[in-house]
Amino acid sequence: MEILTWTYILVGASFALYIGIAIYTRAGSTKEFYTAGGGVSPLANGMATAADWMSAASFISMAGIIAFSGYDGSVYLMGWTGGYVLLALLLAPYLRKFGKFTVPDFVGDRYYSNKARVVAVICALFISFTYVAGQMRGVGIVFSRYLEVDIEWGVVIGMCIVFFYAVLGGMKGITYTQVAQYCVLIFAYMVPAIFISMQLTGNPIPQLGLGDTVADGTYLLDKLDGVLSELGFAAYTDGRKGTADIFAITLALMVGTAGLPHVIVRFFTVPRVKDARLSAGYALVFIAILYTTAPAIAAFGIYNAIDTVAGQPVDQLPEWVANWQKTNLISVEDKNADGMVQYTPYSDTNELNIDKDIMVLASPEIAKLPNWVIGLVAAGGMAAALSTAAGLLLVISTSVSRDLFRTFKPDMTEKRELAIARISAAGAVVLAGYFGINPPGFVAEVVAFAFGLAAASFFPVIIMGIFSTRMNKEGAIAGMISGLLFTMAYIVFFKFISPELNSIENWWFGISPEGIGTVGMLINFIVCYVVSKATPAPPKEVQGMIEEIRIPRGAGKAHAH
C-alpha cells in the first residue's frame, strides 16, 4: 500500500481510539475534569505523565536538534530527564500532600494572597501558551507531509481533534487517552530505530548501534565525525557551545521541567502521596526508553541524509527529498549551477536546507523502510503532539475557571465552573492554533523558552513555599514578576527585536536565550529572599501548614513515644 493509505489507516485508527476513550471516560464533575477523580493507578499515571511530557519537541524535534548540533544537543537529554528526578524528589509528594488542583491554587493558598494567585495564573498562561504553540506546530508538520495539506490546515485539523477530547473529557478523558498515546508513540519511535540500527550496524538495539561499526568497519560516530569534518564543520562529537551556556541550558531545562504546571497537576490524579512518588518513578522509566534512543535516531538520520543527498546530482536526488519539498521544509537550490548538491550549512553557498523538525519523521523514508513504518511514525508524532497539547489546554482552562473566576466569584456553582473551564479551553485551542500557524521558532526551540519561563517564575516560589516557613506573599509576588520579566525581556530582545545581536559576544555571561531561565531563576530566588526578610513573616497558621506538609504521616506519633 501507498504511504498515504497506511497513514490514513494508522492515524485514523489511533484517533478513533483516543476519541472513543474520551467519550467513555468523559468528566461529569469538576474533580474529574481537573484531577480525574483522584483515582488513577501509579502505573497508568506514569504512562500518562510520560506521554504528557514527551511532546512534539521530544518525539519530532529533539533528535533533529541532536542530528544537526551533535554534542551540543545533549543538553536537551540531560535537562529534560534530570528535571524529572527533581520533580519526583522535591515537588510531587509535597504538592500532592497539600492537595491542590493547580500550581496557582498552591501559590494562592500557601502565600495567603489572591494577588499571588493571579500572578501565578499569568505565569501559567504565558508558559502554557508558549509550550502549546510548539505542539501545534508539530501537529501541522505531521499533517502537511502525510495528509498532503498545508501546514496551516494541518494545525486547524489538529485543533479540532484536541478540542474534542480535551474539552469533553477533562483530566479524566485526557489521562486514559494519554496512556494509549504513550503506547502508540513509543512503538512508533522504537520500530524504525530498530530497523535502521539493524540496517546500518547489524545491531538490533539502537542504543548499542550508536557505538557500533558500519559496513566498512568504521565506528558510526567516527564515520560521522569524518563526513562532517570534510564538509568543514566541527566534528559531530565535539561541542561548539561554551561550558557556561551548556550548564545554564541544562539547569534551565531541569528546573523548568520541575516547574511545568501541566506536569505537576498529574500528581493530583493518584489516590495517595506515596502513589505520586511511585508514578514519577514509572514515568522516568517510560521516558528513558525514548530518550536513550534519541541520540541513535539522530546519528542514523543525519548520516543517511548526508550520504544520500550531499554531493549527489541535483536531477538524481532520492524520492524522500521530493516528498518533503512539497511541505517547504526541505529545499534544494543549485546556486553554482554545477548540477551537484553542495551541503555547507551556515554559509551563503549552502544548496541544501533541511528543517530540523523533519529528521525523525523523514528518517524511515531516507532509510527506505516499508511504508507501514512511515505511517506508524506519523501516528506516533501525532500522539506525542496531541497528548501534550491536551494537558496544556487543561492547565489553561483550569487556571482561568478555577484560579481566576472562582477567586472573584467564590459562590459560583460547580456546573458553571465546569462550563467556564470548557469555554476557556475552546478559546485556548484557537489561540494555540494561531501560534502554531505563526510560530516564533522551530518546535524544540519554542519549548525550550517555555521551560526557561517556568524555571524563572514557578520553581523558586514552589521550592521556597515548601521548604521555608519565612517565605511570604510579598517575596513570592516580587520574585515571580522579576524572574519572568527578566527572562522574557532577554528572550524577546535577542530573538525578536535584535536577532542580529544573538551571538555569544553579546550574551550576558556567555548564556544564550535558551539558557537564560537559569539566571532568571537566580534573580527570582534572590528577590524572594530579600523581600521576604524585609517584610512581615507569614501568619502562624500558614507556617504550621508548611510544617505539616513536610512531616511524613505518622512521624509525629513515633516521636511522641
Cα angle 99, 475, 96; round to 5: 15
pLDDT tens string 313-329: 888 888 888 888 877 77
Superfamily of domain 3-299+367-451: Sodium/glucose cotransporter (1.20.1730.10)
Write out residues in the chain with pLDDT < 70, as ranges: 25-39, 100-102, 165-173, 227-236, 239, 258-261, 345-347, 439-447, 551-561
- Check residue 396 and give its pLDDT: 76
What angle do the packed helices 3-24 and 371-398 form, to 10 degrees? 30
- Check residue 259 and give its pLDDT: 65
- Check residue 482 and give its pLDDT: 94
Answer for the pair 9, 374: CB distance below 8 angstroms, yes or no: no
Q: What is d(CA 255, CA 439) in angstroms, rounded to the nearest whole number?
A: 24
What pTM was estimated for this model as a whole? 0.78
- Check residue 78 and give its pLDDT: 85
Helix, strand, or coil (residue 205): coil
Cα angle 104, 106, 108; round to 5: 65
pLDDT tens string 467-508: 888 899 999 999 989 998 999 899 888 887 888 888 888 888
Nearest to 303 by CA among 60, 59, 67: 67
- Check residue 165 and give its pLDDT: 63
Q: What is d(CA 327, CA 349) in angstroms, rounded to the nearest whole number?
A: 23
- Check residue 441 and give its pLDDT: 58
Answer for the pair 420, 405: CB distance below 8 angstroms, yes or no: yes
Element (H, E) at 332: strand 330-332
Q: What are the domain boundaries of the chain?
A: 3-299+367-451, 303-317+325-359
Nine cell digits for residue 58: 521530544
- Check residue 525 and give its pLDDT: 95
